[in-house]
């Protein structure tokens, strides 16, 4: 797994930027990646740690430490960095830097690609971005499942991330939010965009975010609100779990 670092470094710095709405990467984007790489440590056979992210090679499972920031609010994001621009519109926050999360996804052999984000866009609706969608080298390698796990008394609860989200018009969890798209954040004139904005998992289409929802209506920023009844108390420590989509 660690042998993949050099190749993945090239992927993260140039993946999709030439074909998408991004400018030449700033030199510090490479430095940020190199710093993240140095944090990868093997903790047991086939299991690696990247600043608190646990990566299991055999299952491709990522476990990311997070906490509940808001129970009840309109949302555009499911997860942001704790210093991100959109922390007032997210359910979860994390201390783990976005560039480290993207590197962990690459190390687990997920491949970035925007294909799938707009597959349910109404043909009459305006595209949230103009660039042509890109596909991962391996079909489906950008499609992931996301769960949230936490301790409730003596019990361990584990639910799909979608259980924390509802459609404001239907007042129910969207039935098409079981699969998320690892599109990979763009590199623009500011560098690695997610590192600047703190945007990690978006319910409303955001190319700066690392992961986007593929649910119908994701082009709207007024459609998504949290599902308070399903969300543990604010400040509860939780684990975000990423696995391959079925």
Each of the 246 residues of the chain gets a pLDDT tens digit; together they read: 544 443 444 344 334 433 334 344 454 667 777 777 888 999 999 999 999 999 999 999 999 999 999 999 999 999 999 999 999 999 999 999 999 999 999 999 999 999 999 999 999 999 999 999 999 999 999 999 999 999 999 999 999 999 999 999 999 998 889 999 999 999 888 789 999 999 999 999 999 999 999 999 999 999 999 999 999 999 999 999 999 998
3-class SS string, 88-150: HHEEEEECCCHHHHHHHHHHCCCCCCCCCCCCCCCCCCCCCCCCCCCCCCCCCCCEEEEEEEE
Write out the DSSP string of 32-49. HHHHHHTTEEEEETTEEE
The Cα–Cα gap between 35 and 222 comes to 37
The Cα–Cα gap between 209 and 150 comes to 24
Residue indicated by tokens 């007024």: 222
The whole model's pTM is what? 0.88
- Angle at alpha carbon of residue 191, lines to 189 and 182, rounded to 5°: 110
The Cα–Cα gap between 213 and 162 comes to 10
Q: Which two tokens stand for residue 179?
A: 């699969």
The Cα–Cα gap between 132 and 115 comes to 9
By three-state DSSP, how is residue 24 classified? coil
Dihedral-angle region of residue 51 (phi above 0 means left; psi in -120 to 50 means alpha; beta otherwise): left
């Amino acid at each position: 797994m660690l042998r993949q670092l050099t190749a993945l470094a090239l992927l993260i710095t140039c993946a999709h930027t030439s074909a998408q709405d991004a400018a030449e990467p700033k030199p510090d984007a490479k430095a940020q990646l190199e710093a993240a790489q140095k944090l990868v440590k093997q903790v047991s056979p086939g299991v690696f740690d990247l600043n608190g992210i646990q990566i299991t090679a055999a299952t491709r499972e990522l476990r990311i430490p997070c906490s509940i920031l808001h129970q009840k609010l309109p949302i555009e994001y499911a997860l942001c960095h704790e210093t991100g621009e959109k922390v007032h519109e997210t359910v979860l926050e994390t201390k783990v830097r976005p560039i480290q999360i993207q590197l962990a996804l690459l190390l687990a052999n997920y491949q970035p690609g925007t294909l799938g984000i707009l597959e349910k866009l109404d043909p009459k609706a305006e595209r949230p971005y103009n660039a042509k969608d890109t596909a991962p080298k391996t079909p489906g390698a950008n499609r992931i499942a996301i769960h949230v796990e936490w301790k409730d008394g003596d019990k361990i609860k584990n639910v799909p991330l979608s259980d924390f989200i509802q459609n404001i018009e239907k007042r129910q969890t969207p039935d098409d939010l079981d699969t998320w798209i690892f599109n990979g954040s763009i590199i623009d004139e500011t560098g690695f965009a997610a590192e600047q904005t703190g945007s990690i998992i978006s319910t409303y289409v955001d190319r700066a975010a690392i992961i986007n929802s593929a649910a119908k209506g994701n082009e709207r920023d007024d459609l998504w609100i949290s599902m308070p009844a399903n969300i543990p108390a604010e400040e509860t420590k939780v684990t975000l779990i990423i696995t391959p989509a079925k």
